[in-house]
Chain A
Amino acid sequence: MDYHWDWLFFFRETDDGLKYYDWILSGLGWTTLVSLASLALALALGSALGVMRTTPKRWLVAIGDAYVDVFRNIPLIVQLFMWFFVVPELVPDRLGMWMKQDLPYVVIAVVGLGLYTAARIAEQVKAGINSLSRGQRNAGLALGLTEWQTYRHVRLPMAYRIVLPAMTSEAMNIFKNSAVTYAVGILELYFQYKQIIEKTSQVLEITIVVTLAYFALAFLMNRLLAFIERRTRVPGLIVGGKGSN
């Protein structure tokens, strides 16, 4: 194999006056920003949807179920294209123009990735709530808590603890999924990766570096959630029991 290794190319200057490592860092920054913002949106919306799907109100369940069916079954890249190219045509003209001209791309990308991920979070939140015994809700209601207060103080705190491991893999996935946003013009890590491959011939070095960068992001997220899991562990509790009544 006569591949020409050149690790120092990262310090070489690019067309726009920056160094190649600047491109990588900037890509890493955008990847992190898009991922974390999308994750925050997904957690908030996914929790709300997950709760809706466990209420006794049928119309709330129907809305939540429909949302999950739609957003989970359309490929992420198609959803992103819809937000970029289809939705602006469907909304009133002025709003459509504003979306196309003034709204930063990154906002649309975050909404797209966030709404997609929310469907997955909703599945988990619902599963977590349903794994609790019905008696927990009854006990809360019997004390005079409202339905909403039983979620806020009784059911969600336990449900999150139960589904934290599953959430961890979802949170790690979001970095990988964020790579798709290059297709709608976000200058994130995968975009920079492709760009650097086109400009240099150092495919192996850049592949190694980008792989490590994605790995590091996922690893940090994993450690963060493991830390949260330890901090929120309930003394004396054996998780997974489902009582009767």
Chain B
Amino acid sequence: MIEIKNVSKWYGSFQVLTDCTTNVKKSEVVVVCGPSGSGKSTLIKCVNALEPFQKGSIVVNGVAVEDPKTNLPKLRAQVGMVFQNFELFPHMTITDNLTIAQIKVLGRSREEAVDKGLKLLDRVGLKAQAAKYPGQLSGGQQQRVAIARALAMDPICMLFDEPTSALDPEMINEVLDVMVQLAHEGMTMMCVTHEMGFARKVAHRVIFMDRGAIVEDAAKDDFFGQPRSERAQNFLAKILHH
């Protein structure tokens, strides 16, 4: 579903990504972790071409994202993305947040879009908030709306960039629960997160990045059992004992 092949990226002379290669198969859940600044966000933003890269190739569902002929809006509409800071549109009601792209991108009728949006809102337990604005919801609620907004596009896969790291601790679980449920339904997911409990529960593979490179790419049990690299061992020791 997502094939990342020898991707390298530079900001000027600074290399952010070094020869990254990995695959995410259909219905697979891959967790990406690593120290701050290691390039995790950059890598997943390359997947839906929010960031360009200079070398290598990324193929999503058979479409090469770096190909200048690729219709990027169309590709992105199929790839859901959830951000650390939610990024709901503050001037729109929750309903409008859920429907705007369905209407403008997929060309659905307003009724159809509202219907779909409200169903998903119900699924993340927030049906009662439909008429409110993002600023009137808690962080955890906003993030659940953001997930529903992405799902409303019927994505073929989902990208998460530290979806819980901007949340107060008591709200982390309500968001993780939604993600776990998605994973169980067979959604293809690439999640940047340091929630190792989530990784243990649903991940198939864990990728560990450091200084722009994929240092470790292992099945979950292997990763938690005995990471091969010393850097991954140190990293795990640090975050697990917190």
Known A144-B105, A153-B100; contact A138-B87, beta-carbon cutoff 8 A: yes
Known A144-B77, A145-B73, A245-B85; contact A153-B104, beta-carbon cutoff 8 A: yes
Asked whether any CB of chain B lies closer than 8 Å to the CB of A244, the reply is: yes
Known A135-B83, A238-B135; contact A141-B76, beta-carbon cutoff 8 A: yes
Output the residue of B45, B50, B153 with the most chain A CB within 10 A. Answer: B50
How far apart are the CA atoms of A243 and B134 in the complex, in Å?
15
Asked whether any CB of chain A lies closer than 8 Å to the CB of B90, the reply is: yes
B135 touches A237 (CB 8 A): yes
B104 touches A236 (CB 8 A): no
Shortest CB-to-CB span from A244 to chain B, Å, is: 7
A148-186 CB mask vs B (1 if < 8 Å, else 0) is: 010001100110010000000000000000000000000
Asked whether any CB of chain A lies closer than 8 Å to the CB of B184, the reply is: no
Known A235-B132, A236-B136; contact A144-B74, beta-carbon cutoff 8 A: yes
How far apart are the CA atoms of A245 and B100 in the complex, in Å?
22
A142 touches B79 (CB 8 A): yes
A244 touches B85 (CB 8 A): yes
How far apart are the CA atoms of A196 and B26 in the complex, in Å?
82
Chain A: CB-nearest residue to B89: A154
Shortest CB-to-CB span from A142 to chain B, Å, is: 4
A234 touches B91 (CB 8 A): yes
How far apart are the CA atoms of A158 and B92 in the complex, in Å?
10
A133 touches B87 (CB 8 A): yes
Asked whether any CB of chain B lies closer than 8 Å to the CB of A86, the reply is: no
Q: Is the interface of B mostly helix, strand, loop or mixed?
A: mixed
Asked whether any CB of chain A lies closer than 8 Å to the CB of B41, the reply is: yes
B85 touches A235 (CB 8 A): no
Asked whether any CB of chain B lies closer than 8 Å to the CB of A8, the reply is: no
How far apart are the CA atoms of A158 and B134 in the complex, in Å?
13
Shortest CB-to-CB span from B192 to chain A, Å, is: 11
B91 touches A135 (CB 8 A): no
Shortest CB-to-CB span from B144 to chain A, Å, is: 15
Known A138-B50, A142-B50; contact A245-B83, beta-carbon cutoff 8 A: yes
B139-176 CB mask vs A (1 if < 8 Å, else 0) is: 00000000001100100000001000000000000000
Shortest CB-to-CB span from B56 to chain A, Å, is: 21
Asked whether any CB of chain B lies closer than 8 Å to the CB of A74, the reply is: no
Known A138-B83, A142-B50, A158-B90; contact A234-B133, beta-carbon cutoff 8 A: yes
Shortest CB-to-CB span from B143 to chain A, Å, is: 12
How far apart are the CA atoms of A245 and B192 in the complex, in Å?
13
How far apart are the CA atoms of A234 and B104 in the complex, in Å?
22
B91 touches A157 (CB 8 A): yes
How far apart are the CA atoms of A162 and B174 in the complex, in Å?
32
Asked whether any CB of chain B lies closer than 8 Å to the CB of A55, the reply is: no
Shortest CB-to-CB span from B168 to chain A, Å, is: 16
Give B contacts to A, CB under 8 Å: 41, 45, 48, 50, 72-74, 76-81, 83-85, 87-91, 100-101, 104-106, 132-137, 149-150, 153, 161
Cβ contacts A to B, 25 pairs, < 8 Å? A136-B87, A139-B81, A139-B87, A139-B88, A139-B89, A140-B89, A142-B48, A142-B79, A142-B150, A143-B77, A144-B73, A144-B101, A144-B105, A144-B106, A149-B104, A149-B105, A153-B104, A161-B91, A235-B133, A235-B135, A236-B135, A236-B136, A237-B90, A237-B91, A245-B84
* 3 closest A-B pairs by CB: A144-B77, A236-B135, A236-B136
Give A contacts to B, CB under 8 Å: 133, 135-136, 138-146, 149, 153-154, 157-158, 161, 232, 234-238, 243-245
